[in-house]
Structure 1
Amino acid sequence: MLITRIISALVLAPLVLLAIWFGGYWFAAMVVIAAGLMGWEWARMCNAGQLGWPGLLVIAVVVFATAGFALFHSLPVFLFLLGGSLAAGSAALYRFKGRGTLLFVFFGTLYIGLACMAFLWLRSVPEQGLEVVIWLLAVVWATDIGAYFAGRGIGGPRLAPKISPNKTWAGLIGGALAAGLVGALAAGFLGREAMLLVVGGMVLAVVAQGGDLLESWCKRHFGVKDSSHIIPGHGGILDRVDGLLAVFPVAFVYFWVVGAHF
C-alpha cells in the first residue's frame, strides 16, 4: 500500500505542479478535469455509489462553470453555478435515496465549483498568482504533514472523535505550527512581510483541517470510507484535496478584498 501511494504521488505531483507552473490553458484544463472528477465522486457518494442522471447534472454544472470562469471570469458564471447547484440538488431530491440529498448535492456542487473558480482566479493574479498558489499548496501540505506527525507522536485529546477519530488537538496545533514555518520560509525566500505569511499560514492551516473534517463528516453520513478509488493507494481526488477546497475560497476572499496584494 505504501509503495502504491508513493508511486501515485511521484506520477501525479509533477504533472500538477507543471500545469500550475505553466498556467494558461494547461492549468485551466487540469482544473476543469479535476472539477468533473470531483463532481462524479460527490454525486456517487450521495447516491450509494451510483451516478444516475442527477449525478450527470452535477458533473455538467461544475465542468461548465469552471470552464466558463476560466474563459470569462464573470459574475454570470457564478450565477450559473448557483442555479445549476440548486437544479442538481432538486434533481437529487427527486431521484436519489437517503437523508438530506437536496442539501448535500446542492452544497457539494456549489462547494466544488467555488473552490475550482477560486483556484483559477488566484493563479491568474498578475505577477504573483504563481507565488500565491505555490504558497497555498505548501501551507496545506505542511499542515497535513505537521498534523500527522504531531498527532502520532503526541496523541492526546481527540479533536472530533465522532467525525474523525484519528485527529487530535495536538495534530491541529502541529499542523498550524508547520504552516507557520512554511510562511516564515516563504517570506524569506520571496522577500514578503513575514507576519502576514506566518499568521496567514496558521489561519489557513485551521481552515484546511476544517475542510478535512467537513469531508470526513459527509463520508461518515453516507457510510463511505473513500470518495472513490481513482488514485491508487490514495482513494479519490476529494480525499486528497479536501483541505484545499476549503482554503482556496477563503484565500480568494482575502486577496480580492485587499486588491490581490501578496
Structure 2
Amino acid sequence: MRPPTTPVLLLLVDGSIAMSVRHLQVLLIYGVFLALSIGLALARRWRRTADRGPGVWRKYPTYIALNLIFLAAAWLPASWHGLALLLALIGGGAGWEIAQALRLSKLERTGLPAATISLVFAAEWLDLPAYLSLWLGMLLMAAAVSALIDARGRLGPRLIGIAGAIVYLPLCLTPLLWLWHGEDGGFRVVFLYLIIAGNDAFAQLTGQLSGGRLLAPQISPGKTIAGAIGGLICAVVLGGVLSPTIGCSFGTGACTGAVLGIAGQIGDMVESSWKRALGINDFSALLGAQGGVLDRFDALLFASPVFYRS
C-alpha cells in the first residue's frame, strides 16, 4: 500500500484525490522552472539566435501539456490506473513508430504496438515471475511469426522491430510502474520525469542561446556542448530542490539528478543515431512540433531503468 499524504486542498468533492504539501512543493518548483525556461526562450529570441529544428514557441504548448498530463497520471489514485494507461499509450505509439520507420508490413505495424501495450499494461497487475513468463511467450511468438512471413527476405528489420517493441520499450517503461507501486511511488516518478524534462528543455534553450561547438555533429547536428552542460546543470539543481519530495538529502538528490541527466542525454544521442541510420529527421509527427513519441520520450526511456536500480 502506498502511504497516505496529508491533505491540504481537496481536488474532488468526495475527497478521493487530495493535494498534499509535497504536491504543492513540486508544482511550485515546476512553476519556477517554467518561468526560467520562458526567460531563456525570450533571451534567445531577443538575441535572434538561429533555431535548429522547430522553434521553442511552437514546441512549448505541447511540452507543457505533456508535463502536466504526466504529473496528473502519477498522482491519480491507484484504482484509476492512470499511469499504466499513459505508459501503455506511450509504448504503443513508440512501437508503431519503430515498425513504421523500419517499413514493416501492416500486420506488424499493428501487432508490434499491440504487443508493447499489452506488456506495459500487464506490469500493472502481474508479479515478476508471471510477467517474465508472459514476456518470453510474446517474444518467442513474435519471432516465429516474423520468420514465417519473411517472404521478402527482410528478417533483419523484423527482428530489430521485435527487439524494439517487445524488449526495449517494455524494459524502459515497466520500471516506471514498478517505481510507482513502491513507497512514495508517485513522487519518485515525478522526480524522475521532471529532471529529464528539465534536462531536455534547458539543453535546447542554453544550446540555442550560447551556440558554440557541436556535441556530436555526425549523430545530432543540433546539439551543442554548451547545451549539454546547461541541461546537466538544470538536472542537478532540480534533483537537489526536489529531494525533499522523495525523502532524501539535497546532495543525494543533486547527485541523482546528475546521473539521470547524463543517462537522459545518452538516450537522446542513441535515439538520434537511430534516426541517422534510418535516414529520417523525426520518428513521426504524432506530437506535432515535438515530433514523435520516441523523439519526445527518448531520454526518459533510457533513464527510467537507471533510476529504478539506483
> 1:208–1:243: 8 Å Cα contact kept in structure 2?
yes
**Secondary structure in 2 matching 1:229:** coil
Structure showing greater radius of gyration is 2
Structure 1 segment 68-217 matched on structure 2, within 5 A: 68-85=122-139, 87-88=141-142, 94=150, 100-109=156-165, 110-126=167-183, 128-188=184-244, 192-217=248-273
Change over 3 Å in CA distance of 1:74–1:167 after alignment to 2: same
| Matching residue's letter, 1:64 | S
Question: Which residue does the alignment assign to 2:296?
Answer: 240
Equivalent residue letter for 1:123? W
* Separation in structure 2 between the aligned mates of residue 138 and residue 195 of structure 1, nearest angstrom: 17
The question of whether the paired residues in 1 share the 8 Å contact of 2:87 and 2:173 is answered with: yes
Q: What's the offset of the Cα at 1:193?
A: 1.4
User: Could you tell me the TM-score, scaled by structure 2's length?
Assistant: 0.72
More helix, by proportion: 1
The separation in 2 between residues aligned to 1:138 and 1:10, in whole angstroms, is: 11
Aligned length: 251
Q: Is the 8 A contact 1:40 1:51 kept in 2?
A: no
| Counterpart secondary structure, 1:166 | strand
Flag the 1:247–1:52 CA change in 2: closer, same or farther, 3 A: same
Query: Contact 2:187–2:245 at 8 Å: present in 1 too?
Result: no
Structure 2 segments unaligned to the other structure (5+ residues): 1-53
Shift of 1:148: 1.7
Between the aligned residues of both structures, percent identity stands at: 28
Farther off after superposition, 12-21 or 104-113: 12-21
TM-score norm. by structure 1 comes to 0.84
Q: CA RMSD in A?
A: 2.5
1:63 aligns with 2:120: no
> CA 1:160–1:73 in structure 2 vs 1: closer, same or farther (change >3 Å)?
farther
Note if contact 2:214-2:224 (Cα within 8 Å) is conserved in structure 1.
Answer: yes
- Structure 1 distance, partners of 2:212, 2:144, is 43
Equivalent residue of 2:123, what SS?
Answer: helix
Runs of 4+ in 1 over 4 A off after TM superposition: 1-4, 89-93, 95-100, 188-191
8 A contact 1:69–1:117 mirrored in 2: yes
- The residue that corresponds to 1:18 in the other structure is 72
Alpha-carbon distance in structure 1 between the residues aligned to 2:233 and 2:142 = 39
